[in-house]
Amino acid sequence: MPPIDLSKLNGNEHEKVVNEIVRAAETLGFFQVVNHCVPLELMESVKDSAHKFFNMPPEEKVVYRKSVSPSLKMRYQTSFAPEIENVLEWKDYINMVYSSDEDALQYWPKQCKEVALEYLKLSSKIVKDILKILIGKLGVELDDSKIEGLIGLKMVNMNYYPACPNPDLTVGVGRHSDAGTITVLLQDGIGGLYVKEEKDDGKEEWLEIPPIPGALVINVGDALEILSNGKYKSSEHRVMTTSTQSRVSIPLFTLPIVTERIGPLPGLVKNDELADYREVLWQDYMDNFYGTAHEGKKTLEFAKINFAQ
């Protein structure tokens, strides 16, 4: 799948690019974009700053551990939910939640706070543009404040996958979907991100999302699948480890604010149709998501209406 050239949204190929985005969101739920608004130098600095953080001696990193960090806005963790997982993922990461520029500059680590903040702001613009396109194509009109509510919770993670002596025995990130609305992912050149493609004949195949210099990966999350009543696919993905080099990736997760009620958008489910998802309070969805070990798209069942019962 060639990457989508976002600069063409401003020219006479606008509609073609819109259709490429919609098609990708309806099928794989994953695509890559180039010629976006995040400068290449910033992308390099973000990756460098991730290495700077993780290369620090342990005693400088432990102060940010979940149990002792002075702020919930910055946490250094391993795996996904170590308290409940049977097998840990081969991954350390930091989670930087955005509330204001002042908080970010106060609580995020000095090795990466400035570039992470800049990356968050610019990639949020990409999210907003893509979300408007996707919602517009559903035939639904939402005002700007509603769009903001659907992506108002923003967090930048920096994932670090150390080189692994025996990659066949480990997983970088287990099979999961992202909880939120849209994720933007910056990956380095090592590779290892795979997405599950469900074929019409019921078979499945794992496709690699190959590193492309200058590209950002975009994927649909659970919230957007629910909002679109299943039209856009939050896809299952995983990360394999490698034996030779450590890998970094930096996702920006955009999620609804916790007080939003998330269900199929108004007008989307016509009189003679059935909704596939019920409306959930986003805080409840998140509590369930973060309280469950990674297991494919199982977390979406929290909002699914099961007609078989």
Structure tokens at 284: 């409840």
Q: Which of residues 108-147 bind ligand AKG (CB under 6 A)?
A: none
> Amino acid identity of 268?
L
Q: Which of residues 164-193 bind Fe ion (CB under 5 A)?
A: 178
> Amino acid identity of 68?
V
Residue 255's binding partner, choosing from Fe ion, ligand AKG, none, with beta-carbon cut-off 5 to 8 A by kind?
none
Count Cβ atoms below 10 Å from residue 28 Cβ, excluding itself. Answer: 20
Question: Do residues 211 and 217 lie in contact, with contact meaning Cβ atoms separated by under 8 Å?
Answer: no
Residue, CB closest to Fe ion = 178
CA 253 to chain centre: 5
Q: Is 239 in the site for ligand AKG (CB under 6 A)?
A: yes
User: In Å, what is the CA distance from 198 to each residue of 14, 86, 163, 204, 296?
Assistant: 29, 27, 30, 5, 13
How far is the C-alpha of 222 from the C-alpha of 117, rounded, in Å?
A: 24
Could you tell me the smallest distance in angstroms from the CB atom of residue 178 to Fe ion? 4
Measured from the CB atom, the residue of 249 and 254 that comes closer to ligand AKG is 249
Q: Is 185 in the site for ligand AKG (CB under 6 A)?
A: yes
Measured from the CB atom, the residue of 47 and 237 that comes closer to ligand AKG is 237
Q: What angle do CA 143, 145, 151 make, to 5 degrees?
A: 110
Q: Is 237 in the site for ligand AKG (CB under 6 A)?
A: yes
Could you tell me the smallest distance in angstroms from the CB atom of residue 112 to ligand AKG? 16
The residue among 277, 264, 231 whose CA lies nearest residue 27 is: 231
Question: Do residues 254 and 121 lie in contact, with contact meaning Cβ atoms separated by under 8 Å?
Answer: no
Residue 187's binding partner, choosing from Fe ion, ligand AKG, none, with beta-carbon cut-off 5 to 8 A by kind?
ligand AKG
Q: Is 187 in the site for ligand AKG (CB under 6 A)?
A: yes
What 8-state DSSP symbol labels residue 65? Answer: B
Q: Is 193 in the site for ligand AKG (CB under 6 A)?
A: yes
Question: Do residues 50 and 251 lie in contact, with contact meaning Cβ atoms separated by under 8 Å?
Answer: no
How far is the C-alpha of 122 from the C-alpha of 119, rounded, in Å?
A: 5
Cβ within 8 Å of residue 274, ≥6 positions away:
305, 307
Q: Which stretch binds ligand AKG (CB under 6 A): 8-16, 143-151, 185-193, 282-290?
A: 185-193
Query: Torsions phi, psi of 111, nearest 5?
Result: -65, -25
Measured from the CB atom, the residue of 120 and 138 that comes closer to Fe ion is 120
Could you tell me the smallest distance in angstroms from the CB atom of residue 129 to Fe ion? 21
How far is the C-alpha of 158 from the C-alpha of 251, rounded, in Å?
A: 7
Residue 239's binding partner, choosing from ligand AKG, Fe ion, none, with beta-carbon cut-off 5 to 8 A by kind?
ligand AKG
Q: Which of residues 4-63 bind ligand AKG (CB under 6 A)?
A: none
**Which residue in the set 4, 122, 142, 173 belongs to the binding site for ligand AKG (CB under 6 A)?**
173
Could you tell me the smallest distance in angstroms from the CB atom of residue 250 to ligand AKG? 9
Q: Is 89 in the site for Fe ion (CB under 5 A)?
A: no
What 8-state DSSP symbol labels residue 297? Answer: B
**Which residue in the set 32, 45, 77, 157 belongs to the binding site for ligand AKG (CB under 6 A)?**
157
Measured from the CB atom, the residue of 229 and 234 that comes closer to ligand AKG is 234
Q: Is 299 in the site for ligand AKG (CB under 6 A)?
A: no
Binding site for Fe ion (CB under 5 A): 178
Binding site for ligand AKG (CB under 6 A): 157, 159, 173, 178, 185, 187, 193, 237, 239, 249, 251
